[in-house]
Amino acid sequence: MTNRPLVETESGAVRGIVEDGVAAFRGIPYAASPTAELRFAAPQPHPKWSGPRDASRPGPSVPQSASRLEAVMGPRTPDSAEENSLTVNVWTPHLPSARPLPVLVWFHGGGFTSGSGGWDWYDGRNLAAAAEIVVVTANYRLGPLGFLHLPELGVDNLGVQDQVAVVEWVARNIAGFGGDPESVTVGGQSAGAFSAAYLAAAPATGTRIRRVIAQSGPFGLAPQDPGDAAEHSRRFLEILGLTGSLDLLAGLRTVPVQRLLTAYGQLAGELARPGNVAPPLYPVLGGAGIPMSWQEALAAGRLNGKGWLTGTTRDEMTAFFAFDPRVKAITAEQARQLVTDGRYADAAARMPGAAPSEVLTVVETGSLFREGTLAIAGQLASAYVYQFDYQPTPDPSRLGSAHCAELPFFFDTLDAYPDSPMLGTPTAHARDLAATFSRAVAGFVATGKPADARWQPYESGDSATVRHFA
């Protein structure tokens, strides 16, 4: 492999860079820039370019505000722009490859509001080398740019349409990077896990997906109701002063992007409630790429025959609650009102002396993340389940094993999180755990079975078949 390998894509040649024996191609456009008349439009093919395009650095993240989980994961330097933001990043251990390699297409989380596949948190170099697989990460439109709901104007789950375009780009182009388009795993964490599951179930993309990795999927959160999405979109337009506009799309396309983000932040503030983690706008049921709920898809057999690796962290909701003064000050009566099915009272009885916020954290971790995760795995013929239990030491914020805590270990990128309370200072044990976890999940992409003798197939209701990582 040369130090600057060259690969032909459908839009032109890209020149990557070799790092630790793995070829990296970053910032490759999979769709045209969503600017001017393509803002609030379905993704379109990228124009062809002449001559090799430098692919040694990632493109910008899509426009977004700071993540609400920065206090947990660590801060990011803003790097967003609309121009050249719809890109993929590819890591491949062999060019040329003697045989086509299995492929992982992975989507970042961030509540459909923040994140980027180009961030060093999600560098695929070590994961690709762990089991000789090709790793692909991607950007997709977020917040109002990705999920404003105006279907009468064709503004319909645009972020989901971007994800579909990524899967289609991989099918057409990945062979040039040594990947096997017939052996594709789609995965992701949080919002990315939600996305991976629905991409696997959707008729348009499901036939291209062989396996799924769903990390901390918020399967207790249904796709957004179309009526709620329409109402939230109406209020968003009202904040912008665009209600009643004769040419609404033209108006939206001329609003400065920072104004869009500020208005979305105001909408989020108006809708915020203690304990509610749903963003104002996210994938809408019945919209593009989301024809049915995951429960309906499971019942219809849409996920049959696909390998499934899934899991949660032990203390998911501390990431959302630990720094929220409204939750920390919540009373038992207020918590019972938030959890109306009696589970709060059941959990409180099992946790004598615990603060209401601690009980609520346990209840919501189960209802939003763990119960749906186990329900899906329990109905599939080939599923592997984990629980991530590692927690930082010391842990002054009492995060435990919070939402996102497994990400540095999944990608084996611990050094990319220098200021992360959820990780702390990596120890020798943490580095060993990262190598173990990364190798196990890469093995699943390669063979359909984790590369870990202790990780057995999940049997519904049997906690002994959940692999714990601590």
* Mean pLDDT estimate for the chain: 96
The share of the chain scoring above pLDDT 90, in percent, equals 94
User: Which of 127-131, 246-250, 267-271 shows the lowest mean pLDDT across its residues?
Assistant: 246-250
Catalytic residue among 61, 85, 195, 316: 316
Residue 237 maps to a domain: no
- In this predicted model, what pLDDT tens digit does every residue of 395-447 receive, in sequence order? 999 999 999 999 999 999 999 999 899 999 999 999 999 999 999 999 999 99
Give me the amino acid identity at 438.
Answer: S
Catalytic residue among 114, 403, 420, 438: 403
Is the pLDDT at 244 greater than 90, yes or no?
no
Tally the domains of the chain.
1
CA 24 to mean position of chain CA atoms: 21
Residue 441 maps to a domain: yes
Residue 409 and residue 438 in contact, taking contact as beta carbons nearer than 8 Å: yes
Of 234, 337, 221, the closest CA to residue 279 belongs to: 221
Give the model's pLDDT for residue 321.
95
- In this predicted model, what pLDDT tens digit does every residue of 433-447 receive, in sequence order? 999 999 999 999 999
Model confidence band, residue 47 (pLDDT cutoffs 50, 70, 90): very high
The share of the chain scoring above pLDDT 70, in percent, equals 100
Of 137, 130, 63, 69, the closest CA to residue 106 belongs to: 137
Of 222, 197, 192, 223, the closest CA to residue 209 belongs to: 197
Give the model's pLDDT for residue 275.
84
Residue 250 maps to a domain: no
Residue 187 maps to a domain: yes
Give the model's pLDDT for residue 401.
98
Catalytic site includes residue 429: no
Catalytic residue among 190, 233, 357, 438: 190
Token output for 13: 């040649």
Give the model's pLDDT for residue 161.
98
Beta strand 134-138 pairing with 211-215 = unpaired
Q: Burial letters for 135-170: b for 16+ Cβ neighbours within 10 Å, e otherwise?
A: bbbbbbbbbbbbbbbbbeeebbbbbbbbbbbbbbbb
Model confidence band, residue 163 (pLDDT cutoffs 50, 70, 90): very high
pTM: 0.97
What's the whole-number mean pLDDT along residues 25-51?
98
- In this predicted model, what pLDDT tens digit does every residue of 179-236 receive, in sequence order? 999 999 999 999 999 999 999 999 999 999 999 999 999 999 999 999 999 999 999 9
Token output for 11: 């839009």
Helix (H, G, I), strand (E, B) or coil at 128: helix
Model confidence band, residue 393 (pLDDT cutoffs 50, 70, 90): confident
Which CATH number does the domain housing residue 11 bear? 3.40.50.1820
Residue 106 maps to a domain: yes
Residue 247 maps to a domain: no
Model confidence band, residue 450 (pLDDT cutoffs 50, 70, 90): very high
What's the whole-number mean pLDDT along residues 312-324?
96
Give the model's pLDDT for residue 157.
98
Give the model's pLDDT for residue 2.
82
Residue 159 and residue 114 in contact, taking contact as beta carbons nearer than 8 Å: no
Is the pLDDT at 72 greater than 90, yes or no?
yes
Quote the domain boundaries for residue 123: 6-232+274-469
Residue 402 and residue 434 in contact, taking contact as beta carbons nearer than 8 Å: no
Residue 286 maps to a domain: yes
Residue 412 and residue 441 in contact, taking contact as beta carbons nearer than 8 Å: no
Give the model's pLDDT for residue 35.
98
Catalytic site includes residue 190: yes
What's the whole-number mean pLDDT along residues 338-346?
88
**CA 304, CA 6: separation in Å to the nearest integer?**
38
Residue 248 maps to a domain: no
- In this predicted model, what pLDDT tens digit does every residue of 278-308 receive, in sequence order? 999 999 999 999 999 999 999 999 999 999 9
Is the pLDDT at 342 greater than 90, yes or no?
no
Helix (H, G, I), strand (E, B) or coil at 172: helix
